[in-house]
Amino acid sequence: MSNSIPATSLQTHPGTNVTVVDLFDRTESLKPLWLQVEGFRRAIYPIMQNAADGVHLICYSQGGLICRALLSTTPDHNVDTFISLSSPQMGQYGDPHHRDLYLNNSNFLALLNDERLHPNATAWKKNLLRIRKLILIGGPDDGVITPWESSLFAFYDDNETVREMKSQPVYLLDTFGLKTLDARGDMAFYVVPGIAHTQWHSSRTVYDTCIAKWLT
């Protein structure tokens, strides 16, 4: 569509090489997430190799988690700015009363967050920290991401109260690099009201306010 992020970015940054990686749509999005990560890696890695000055990643919804996993598991990536657009970075519909079940059964997010011990944690953290900037975008009228603050690395506590990123154990313990990125001054947060989940990637307001400045 004419007001999509790719079309708009070509208007505001003429001459930019823009590639839309459209994989695992609709029911395909239900496939195992690590399988999807590998599919996106096959599509994106050649683009990285041909971009001497690096690339920016704009990843929407579940794609934001897939992109974070891709970055964490790619030791030689050259991503400059990772823009996470209304993505459930701390999970979705989580039950804070059964955290033990999550830790024992999650083969994706608990590993990615280094909440479940695994031998690659140190390397994954180092890989993610290769990025120059992490941009987090979300809003209270999303209507799908629950809680919507998950897009900003906030989540429920045991009392079902949403706690901000800096109160999360993954931040306090710097399990995968959030605290390091924050200390570097390399994170930016945008809360945009009035945007439903399916509108994020086509909103000119979101693009102009949250995205355009980082695509340089």
List active site positions: 61, 142, 197
How far apart are the C-alpha atoms of 82 and 147, rounded to whole Å? Answer: 21
Tokens of 159: 């009392």
Question: Helix or strand or coil: residue 197?
Answer: helix
Helices assigned H by DSSP within 73-158:
99-105, 109-112, 121-128
Q: What's 28-46 look like in SS3? A: HHHCCHHHHHHHHHHHHHH
215, 56 in Cβ contact below 8 A?
A: yes
* Residue whose token pair is 């029911």: 27
Hey, how many other C-beta atoms are within 10 angstroms of the C-beta on 182?
16
From the list 169, 181, 33, the residue with the least C-alpha distance to 103 is 169
Helix, strand, coil abundance in the chain, percent, nearest 5: 45, 15, 40
Question: Helix or strand or coil: residue 201?
Answer: helix
